[in-house]
Structure 1
Amino acid sequence: MKSHVIDSRYGGGKTRSMTTTTDHKELVQRALADLLGPGGVDAVAPLLSEDFLHHRPDATTSTKKEWLASVEAALVPLAGMRVEVLHLLADGGHVVVHSRRTHPSGVEITVVDLLRIEDGLITEVWEIIEPAAEAAAHLEWWQPAGR
């Protein structure tokens, strides 16, 4: 997944390794496919750094081991969930995934994940989830109650 570029700033045309934003996007796509595929958490675990952290909007943070355990526990109730990636954007060491996820029961959520990639591994994830049915109510969250 690494590309090599020649850069005269590094001593007369020496080759240096550089991970591109395309590589980062491919890593995230692979992680999502592996996670939702038959390999599950065992397939995605090698794509996460040992110091991996997962952050939620409620200010909770989980380690690699904690996050993998919680995802493994959720895979059975979420079996058959459809994930539609709406946007996949990369800039430097960060990738953003905007997706719509639909449970077989029909319940739909919108998810935005911001991932930090370092040394070819996913090192950190910030996740925001909004139930699609509640989206309209969240459009005016700043309005005082009763207005």
Structure 2
Amino acid sequence: MTTENKSIVARALAGLVDTGDVDTLASFLSEDFIHHRSDSTTSTRTQWLAAVRAALGPTAGMRVDILHLLADGDHVVVHSRRRLPDAGPEIVVVDVLRIADRAIVEAWEVIEPAAHATANGTWWNPAV
């Protein structure tokens, strides 16, 4: 199951990363897909796909490099680095995707601006 789920996510992301093909990604999402962000907001399949099209579609130009693709049971973790065109800001993203019935049914996303990584690494230390 773990290998199959990892393969589902890899196929879903392949066209998106290479060409901005959001339709292939959409074909791997369940109709009741839900996306969660670390600020406690959620979006539906339709809302999330519209946001992905705006950021990653062929005319948007965001570059995505997948650094790690890990799976355990029905969850797949994607660790990526994303850059806007023209030397725009860079972010590091961790997505946790839940797979059921050969479809992505739920996703959680954590985003950190790369420029803030050092400061965010010591958030717990009030002396810094």
Could you tell me how far 1:122 is from its partner in structure 2? Answer: 0.3
For residues 109 and 68 of structure 2, the distance between their equivalents in structure 1, rounded to whole angstroms, comes to: 15
Does 1:134 find its partner at 2:116?
A: yes
Tell me the equivalent position of 2:6: 25
**Higher CA-based Rg:** 1
Tell me the equivalent position of 2:103: 121
Change (3 A) 1:138 1:105: same
Helix, strand or coil: the match of 1:143? coil
Helix, strand or coil: the match of 2:107? strand
Consecutive unaligned residues of structure 1, counting only runs of 5 or more, are 1-19
Return the structure number with greater relative CO, CA threshold 8 A, min gap 6. Answer: 2
Work out which of the residue numbers 66, 69, 80 in structure 1 matches 2:50: 69
Determine what percentage of the aligned residue pairs are the same residue. 60
Deviations 1:76-114 (A, max 9, x none): 5641x3322221110110000111122232332111000
Letter in 2 for 1:119: D
- What RMSD in Å do the two structures reach over aligned CA positions? 1.9
Consecutive unaligned residues of structure 2, counting only runs of 5 or more, are none
Give the TM-score normalised by the residue count of structure 1.
Answer: 0.77
Native 8 Å contact 2:36 2:42 kept in 1: yes
Tell me the equivalent position of 1:4: none
Deviations 1:3-26 (A, max 9, x none): xxxxxxxxxxxxxxxxx2111111
Letter in 1 for 2:71: A
Could you tell me how far 1:35 is from its partner in structure 2? Answer: 2.3
For residues 20 and 123 of structure 2, the distance between their equivalents in structure 1, rounded to whole angstroms, comes to: 40
Number of aligned residue pairs: give it: 126
Tell me the equivalent position of 1:52: 33
Letter in 2 for 1:135: A
Deviations 1:25-72 (A, max 9, x none): 111111112223446222211100011000001100001011111111
